[in-house]
C-alpha cells in the first residue's frame, strides 16, 4: 500500500491531516500504557481490506479502527478510511473520526464525548461535542443485554464547530452482537448516524442517514471474512453499496 506522491503534493491539507492523526494516535496509545491498575488497558485495532465493491467501485476499501481504555475514566475510539488501495494501489485519505470520551461516573453509563472529524480536502473538517449513553451498561437493562450478547451505544452530538458552525445536530448509534449459541466465530456490528437540521443540497433527504452493518466470521487465528452493507444518503445516486473482504484484529 502506497500513498500517491502527486496527490500529496497537490493537496496541501493532506500531510497536515495525516500528521495530526498520527500525533493523536501516538498520544492515545502511549497514554494507554499507563492506565490505572484497576482498569487495565484493553486495546483493539482492526485492519479491514475490501477488494470487492458491488455498486460503488470507488468506495472506502481500507479502514483502520482503534479503540481502548485510557487512564482514569477516559476512553478512545477512532478510525481512518482510505480509498484506491485495491483499485489503483494508492492509499488516498478520505475521512477520519477521533473520539475522546469521559465517563462521568463509575456507576452511570453516561459519557462526555468530543469528536474531531477530518475529511479529505480543505475546509471540510469539523468538531462535535455531546453525550454518550451505553445502554448495555444501564442498571436494570444489563441482564437483558448480556443475555442476548449485545452492546449498544447512542451518542447525541449536540454542538458542532467548524463547517457550518452550529447548524444541525446528530444522533449516532453503534452496536455489536455475538452469537455464542451458534458459533464463537461469528459477530454482527454496525452503526447508524442520523443527521438533523443540517443544510445541504436539495437532493439530500431532510435528515440524511449514514450507516453500515458488518457480518464477520473468524477464519483462522486473527483473520476474519467480512461482508458489509453500506448506506450513505448524502451520496446522491450511489446511496447503497455492498463490500466484502478480509479483516485482521489485534488485541492487547
Distance, CA of 37 to CA of 220 (rounded, Å): 32
Per-residue pLDDT at 55: 94
Distance, CA of 61 to CA of 53 (rounded, Å): 8
- If the chain, 252 residues long, is cut into consecutive pieces of 10 residues, what is the mean pLDDT of each piece? 45 54 56 49 89 95 93 92 90 93 93 93 87 96 97 95 73 97 96 88 88 98 97 94 97 84
Q: Which residues of 147-168 are buried (b: 16+ CB within 10 A; e: fewer)?
A: eeeebbbebebeebeeeeeeee
Per-residue pLDDT at 8: 41
Domain ranges in the chain are: 5-251
Per-residue pLDDT at 164: 58
Half-sphere exposure of 57 (CA within 13 A, CB side): 2
Distance, CA of 162 to CA of 125 (rounded, Å): 6
Contacts 24+ apart (CB under 8 A), 22-29: 24/78, 24/98, 24/116, 25/66, 25/78, 28/66, 28/68, 28/70, 28/76, 28/78, 29/66, 29/68
Per-residue pLDDT at 193: 96
Domain 5-251: CATH superfamily is monomeric porin ompg (2.40.160.40)
Strand partners, 192: 173, 211
Distance, CA of 93 to CA of 84 (rounded, Å): 9
Distance, CA of 34 to CA of 207 (rounded, Å): 42
Amino acid at each position: 500500500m502506497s500513498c500517491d506522491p502527486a496527490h500529496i503534493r497537490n493537496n496541501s491539507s493532506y500531510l497536515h491531516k495525516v500528521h495530526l492523526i498520527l500525533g493523536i494516535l501516538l498520544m492515545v496509545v502511549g497514554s494507554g500504557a499507563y492506565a490505572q491498575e484497576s482498569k487495565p488497558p484493553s486495546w483493539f485495532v482492526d485492519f479491514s481490506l475490501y477488494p470487492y465493491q458491488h455498486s460503488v467501485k470507488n468506495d472506502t476499501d481500507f479502514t483502520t479502527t482503534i479503540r481502548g481504555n485510557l487512564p482514569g475514566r477516559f476512553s478512545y475510539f477512532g478510525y481512518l478510511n482510505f480509498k484506491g488501495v485495491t483499485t489503483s494501489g494508492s492509499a488516498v485519505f478520505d475521512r477520519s473520526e477521533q473520539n475522546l470520551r469521559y465517563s462521568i461516573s463509575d456507576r452511570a453509563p453516561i459519557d462526555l464525548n468530543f469528536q474531531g472529524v477530518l475529511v479529505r480536502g480543505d475546509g471540510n473538517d469539523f468538531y462535535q461535542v455531546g453525550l454518550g449513553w451505553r445502554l448495555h451498561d444501564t442498571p436494570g437493562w444489563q441482564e437483558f443485554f448480556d443475555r442476548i450478547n449485545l452492546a449498544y451505544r447512542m451518542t447525541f452530538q449536540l454542538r458542532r464547530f467548524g463547517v457550518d458552525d452550529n447548524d444541525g445536530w446528530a444522533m449516532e448509534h453503534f452496536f455489536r452482537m455475538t452469537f455464542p449459541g451458534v458459533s464463537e466465530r461469528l459477530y454482527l456490528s454496525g452503526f447508524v448516524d442520523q443527521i438533523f437540521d443540517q443544510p445541504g443540497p436539495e437532493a439530500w433527504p431532510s435528515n440524511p442517514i449514514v450507516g453500515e452493518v458488518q457480518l464477520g466470521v473468524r477464519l483462522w487465528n486473527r483473520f476474519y471474512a467480512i461482508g458489509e452493507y453500506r448506506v450513505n444518503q448524502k451520496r446522491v445516486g450511489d446511496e447503497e453499496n455492498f463490500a466484502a473482504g478480509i479483516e485482521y484484529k489485534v488485541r492487547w
